[in-house]
Every structure is written in C-alpha cells, then in structure tokens.
Amino acid sequence: MTKDVIALTPEMPDTKTVLAGLFAGGPDLGVTSAADGAVVQLRAPDGRPLVSVEAPLLIQVPGEARRLLGPDAVAPDGPYWWTEARASTTVEESERLAGSFAGRVAAVLGGTVWPPEAAHTEVVPLTSEAATAAAAPEATPPAVDILTDKAAVVIQDRRPVVAMTTWLADALRTAAAGDRALQIVTPPGTGLTLPTRGALHGRPNRWVVQDPDCGYYDGLSGARLHWRDGHFTPVPSPDGEARIADAYRPSAPPAPAERQLALSLRTTHPADENLLLGRALEASWRALTGAPPAGWSTAEPISLPWSPRRLTELARARAQRSAPTWLTAIGAPDRPAIATTHVSHTPAGIEEHITLTLGYAPDEATPLETLAPLAELLAAEHGLTSMLTTLRPARRDLTVPPRFEAPPLPLTFTLGPDAVTGIGLAHAEQPQAGLHPTRLGPPARPALHYALGDGTDPQAWARFERLGAHLATTKTRRPSGQPD
C-alpha cells in the first residue's frame, strides 16, 4: 500500500533540494516527471516508480496541517510549503525512501515531517529481490495502489482524514475515464473530509473500511463488502438485503449532539465581463459566521487566501476550454466551516452550485434566525435560484466517521424571484402540506421562503417532497375566454 510522507518547510524546496532528497536511494535510481511535470518520480532500474513527489504547495491558510494531519501536526509559523511524497506498493523499501526524501528536505530547509516517525536521512539501497520484482503497470497513476478493469483502489492506512487532494482527484478522473469505480480503503479510525465524501457519493465509488473484527464494510452505508471479480462489492444475502456491519451501527446512546448546519444553494448570473463569482458564498459565510471564508483552492489542503477575483479568473480560464470549475473554501480554525462550489456555463448563464456546511458544539447556538434574512439578501443581490437548508446531529469538526450518522432534516427552502416567475406566483404561493411561504423582496417580483421544520421533525422531508411535487406541476391552461 502507498504511504504518504509530507515535508512542511518555511522555504520552497528548490530543484537541488528535491534531487538531493530523491537520491536517498543512491545514484543508480532514475528520476523522471509525470502529470505534465507536476509530479517527480524516483524509479527503480527496471522503470518501476518507487516514490512520487508532488510539486510543493504554498499553504497560506491557517490550520490546514492540523485539520488534515491531526492535532499533533507541527507546521512552520506563517505561510509554509507542503511537499508530499507517496511510496508505491511494489517495493518494500519505498516507504523508507519516501521518509528519507522528506527528512532530507526538512533538514535542509529547517522544517518538519509528518508523520514524524517516518523522517530520517539515511541512504536506502534496494535489495536484489526488490530489483528483480515484477514491474507495475505503467498506466497506474501515482495515487492508485490497485488498478483492475472494474476499480481503481487507493489504500490509505496512515492519514487521520482522507482529503480531496490533487492525488485523489487524479485517481477519481482516472477511474471515471476508464469506467471504473474509485474505492478508498482505510482502517476504522480514519475519517473523510466533506469534499471527499461528496466525491464518493453514490455508486460505483466506495469508501471501504477494513475492520479487524468484521472485515470490510462500506463506511457510508454500512454494507458488508468482499473483494470479488476485481472490486469490492456487497456480500450477498439470501433475502437480497445488504448485510450491515456491526462496526457501523451506533454502539451507545448519542451524547449531547454536536450539529451541522448545511446550505445547498444555486445561483445564476448573466455571462458578462463584470461578473464576480464567489460573492453569494461570501455573503452566506459572513451572515452565519461574521467573517468571510479564510481560503479556497481546487483541492485540499486549502492553499490560497480567499479571493473572489482570483477564483473568477480561474473559472473564466476553464470556461474557455469548455471545462467546469470545482473548488473548495474553508473557514477559520475556530469556526469550522467548509464549502464546495461547482461553476458551469449553461444556457441560463453562469451557474454556481454551492454547498456550505458549518459545525456547532452542544453549547453553541445555531443561527437559524439568520436564514430568512440571508435568503432575502441572496435573492436581491446574488442571483439566487433556490436554497435548501438542513440541520443534523454530526461532528463539529466536519469530518465523516465510518459509522452511522443521522440524516439531515430540512429547515427551509427558498425560491428565487426568477424561479417564482417561471412557476407562477399564485401557484408557488398556494399552501401545500400546511406550508405558507413568506414573500421576500419587492412585491412585484418576490422570492418565496418556505419554513419546513425546526431540525427535529422527520416529517419535514415529506413536506419538502410534497412541495417539490407541487412546484413541478404545470397548471392546466383553461380554454380561451374562461376566467382563471
């Protein structure tokens, strides 16, 4: 399995420092580049990749090392460089080579290594057995440990949290391009970030948890799994129902609940040169936390200070290549909040699909009273098409454990003025399931805000479903000359 080792340094590792680290295996090993130069690989004499090193990433957002590597991770003060090495599965010495690479880089530049026990600066010669082992397929990307016709399997047994890194995003693209499932294998103590959970949502992708007592199970559904025909698949049962692993079930009554408030919103903007993306997300963040996002990036760790102008430039450049943009934003360490945004160019204009999630401790108030004013602001100034808000008991730190968590329950749903006009105000305002929407904004062109529940009533989903069915119903036109 691959082993990740990360050097955290106050200075950028230059070419000489990187090469000095890579020559931890001696001068007989080869050094090549991959992924259009974004990855440098140390290769065995037969061409097999031993260690893959991603281009150093400048982290300008506080708290990322601890968020992704655990509370004991030590990073330099101020902005620092994150240089990540992955040891391959093909040669036993690869893990020590990765540790020597990171240790040498940190020693030269005065930084630290995660995990600290992996760091050293010794030369790691290959054994004769390793030098003659069978070569791995050249097409296997650096992040993938097992590649079959059905799955690209990534094994993560060291990280406390599996983040949506550029490594993992590359593995996801590789899997999708080959019509394969991405399957991430972790021990039971590992969690996911919300962006990673979003990427794995739905089949055929899976989070595979290897539990010492009950074997493999799906960390998001609890279904017991086994390896068959080149991928992890549910264990069959006589009645056709999925077998749920005991490790996935709650083992004790829940403690006083930490909570997660989530906003799923869609905005639509005219495609003009003055458009500035990210403003709806920033407005939501400020309304709920009192501050803007701390940073953003197209992958984790989050590296760039928050800047709607820069993310707009990125989205515009990608749109010129007919490519959508996916990005993540993060909040300050003392106020857990994370968002994903998907930007696409559609016939209606430039659309942003945003999911913002915030975590709260049992003694922290959830700002439910801000939802209606926020909806009005988004409808008036930020092109809101729709917004659904939900609440659920879940971890304040926003990580996803491999155990059952209660599903979210709807709080509110808002239709923007364009959506209300398209449906018809009278039809959209017609009470359904006891719902009486509130008009937001100017009377002639309002948004409609529906209160669905308080976050504790399971019937809120039924109300939302009936509301959705009603809004999707096209009114039958009456014959000409008859009153409406």
Q: Is the pLDDT of residue 130 over 90?
A: no
Domain edges within the chain: 1-135, 140-249, 259-473
Sign for the pseudo-dihedral over CA of 251, 256, 258, 263: positive
Long-range pairs for 43-48 at CB < 8 Å and ≥24 separation? 44/91, 44/126, 44/130, 44/131, 45/131, 46/131, 46/132, 46/135, 47/135, 47/138, 48/88, 48/90, 48/91, 48/133, 48/135, 48/136
Confidence of residue 442 (pLDDT cuts 50, 70, 90): very high
Residue range 92-121, pLDDT digits in tens: 888 899 999 999 999 999 999 999 999 999
Pairing of strands 191-192, 161-162: parallel
pTM above 0.85, yes or no: yes
User: CA distances (Å), 108 to each of 12, 17, 111, 474, in order?
Assistant: 11, 7, 8, 68
Q: Which structure tokens are listed for 307? A: 């800047």
Q: Report CA dihedral (446, 448, 449, 450) to the nearest 10 degrees.
A: 160
Q: Which amino acid type is present at position 307?
A: S
pLDDT at 135 over 50: no
pLDDT one-digit tens code per residue, 221-267: 999 999 999 999 999 888 878 899 999 998 766 666 899 999 999 99
Q: Which residue has the tokens 């098409």?
A: 385
The two three-digit tokens of residue 116, written as one number = 């600290």
Q: Read off the pLDDT of residues 318-370 as tens digits, 9 standing for 90 and up.
A: 988 888 899 999 999 999 999 999 999 989 999 999 999 999 999 999 999 99
- Residues listed for the chain: 484
Max mean pLDDT among 37-41, 313-317, 476-480 falls in 313-317
- Give 188-232 pLDDT, tens digit per residue: 999 999 999 999 986 689 999 999 988 999 999 999 999 999 999
